[in-house]
Amino acid sequence: MTDSAVEIGDVQKEIQRQKKRVARKENLAGILFLLPGLLGFIVFILIPVVMSLGISFTEWNFLKGWEAIQFNGLENYKQLLHDDWFIASLKNNLLFTLVTIPVLLVLGLVMAELINRYCYKKNLVRVMIFIPYIASVVAVCTVWQVMLQPSYGPVNQMLQSIGIDNPPRWLVDEKWALWAIMAIYIWTQLGYYVAVFMAGLKNVPDDLYEAAQIDGATGFKQFLYITVPMVRPTTFFLAIMGIIASFKVFDYISVLTQGGPGNSTSVMAYYIYKTAFENFKMGYACTLAWALFVIIFIVTLIQWKYQKNFANE
């Protein structure tokens, strides 16, 4: 019995050694698969982020080379409080977010519900609505520039034909330029919101609607008390991702107005680009980038804090 116990113990130890060898090989294989992506992250993201933090405490025209870097402490961060362009860009960005995200959420959910419940060939309609989202931003913006041209654009000609003698000058008017860009942004992004909401609506049980119909609930009440609560996690996801995306909007501004007229359409991302690659103030541009990072980071913290409560209510 003793010899048998020893043999069993030896076998168990050998099995454990074999398991450890297999585990080491699997870990090594996993590391090798992750290594290219990890190296790319370190070289192209982590190192530039750390360097940008250091550069944000300097004054540097990068065209003059590394020897032109001059450390200036917190002067760049103090300058933010007195920079009219930064303040205007931040205000424009906040207005952009506060207008576009609620409109996209409401329109996206309403259109998704209408298409899902009442539309024939719903998949075809969803694809048609989604096309502006996947289209080239430059192409879309170019078409809208022509349509919103103040003198001969189709939009203003239509407005004049119905009796509006002095229609807005849209992209060349300080009062209307940002609103025009927000309308274009909503038009292009709406297809994505509709598609995501339609995917979320598939998880709503039909039994709830059938029970509501038996109880005499109207279509509006079914939408308000069944659809809206059941797609709350989807709504929360789209709201958070939309807010983050709205603070990084750049291409629409760059193609349509270049931040003008004046600074009426300048937003954070475009101002960072302008400061770095037009004014060549790389140190201050990094400061602006970190200010934008802090704003997005605060939004992310709010998401982490309220995600579970919001999704489970």
Tell whether the model's pLDDT for residue 311 goes beyond 60.
no
Question: Which pTM does this prediction carry?
Answer: 0.86
By percentage, how much of the chain surpasses pLDDT 70? 94
Element (H, E) at 56: none
Hey, where are the domains in the chain?
2-55, 75-312
Mean pLDDT score of the chain: 89
* Predicted local distance difference test score (pLDDT) of residue 46: 92
Predicted confidence at residue 242, as pLDDT, reads 93
Residue 284's contacts (CB-CB under 8 Å, 6 or more residues apart) are 59, 76, 79, 275
Mean pLDDT along residues 109-130: 87
Q: State the pLDDT at residue 6.
A: 56
The residue among 303 and 184 whose pLDDT is bigger is: 184
What pLDDT score was predicted for residue 5? Answer: 58
What's residue 265's pLDDT?
95
Q: What homologous superfamily does CATH list for 75-312? A: MetI-like (1.10.3720.10)
Q: Is the pLDDT of residue 308 over 80?
A: no
HEC letters along 215-262: CCCCHHHHHHHHHHHHCHHHHHHHHHHHHHHHHCCCHHHHHHCCCCCC
Residue-by-residue DSSP string for 143-171: HHHHHT-TTT-HHHHHHHHTT-SS---GG
Angle at 283 between CA 279 and CA 287, to 5 degrees: 105
Residue 304 has pLDDT above 80, yes or no: no
Asked if the model's pLDDT at residue 9 lies above 80, the reply is no
| Of the candidates 265, 243, 244, the residue with the CA atom closest to the CA atom of residue 253 | 265
- Mean of pLDDT values over 116-136: 87
Residue type, 148: L
pLDDT in tens, 176-205: 999 999 999 999 999 999 999 999 998 888
Question: What CA–CA distance (Å, rounded) separates 262 from 159?
Answer: 26
Q: Where are the beta strands (DSSP E) in the chain?
A: 58-59, 70-71
More confident position, 116 or 133: 133
| Residue 60 clears pLDDT 80, i.e. is over it | yes
pLDDT band for position 57 (cuts 50, 70, 90): very high
What is the C-alpha to C-alpha distance for residues 140 and 308, in angstroms, rounded to an integer? Answer: 38
Q: pLDDT digits over 69-117, tens only?
A: 999 989 999 999 899 999 999 999 999 999 999 999 999 999 999 998 8
Q: What is the pLDDT of residues 136-167, one digit of tens each?
A: 999 999 999 999 999 889 999 999 999 888 89
pLDDT band at 210 (very low <50, low <70, confident <90, very high): confident
> Counting Cβ atoms within 10 Å, is residue 290 exposed (0-12), middle (13-18) or buried (19+)?
buried
Q: What does the pLDDT average to over 277-303?
A: 90
Residue 18 pLDDT level (bands cut at 50, 70, 90): confident
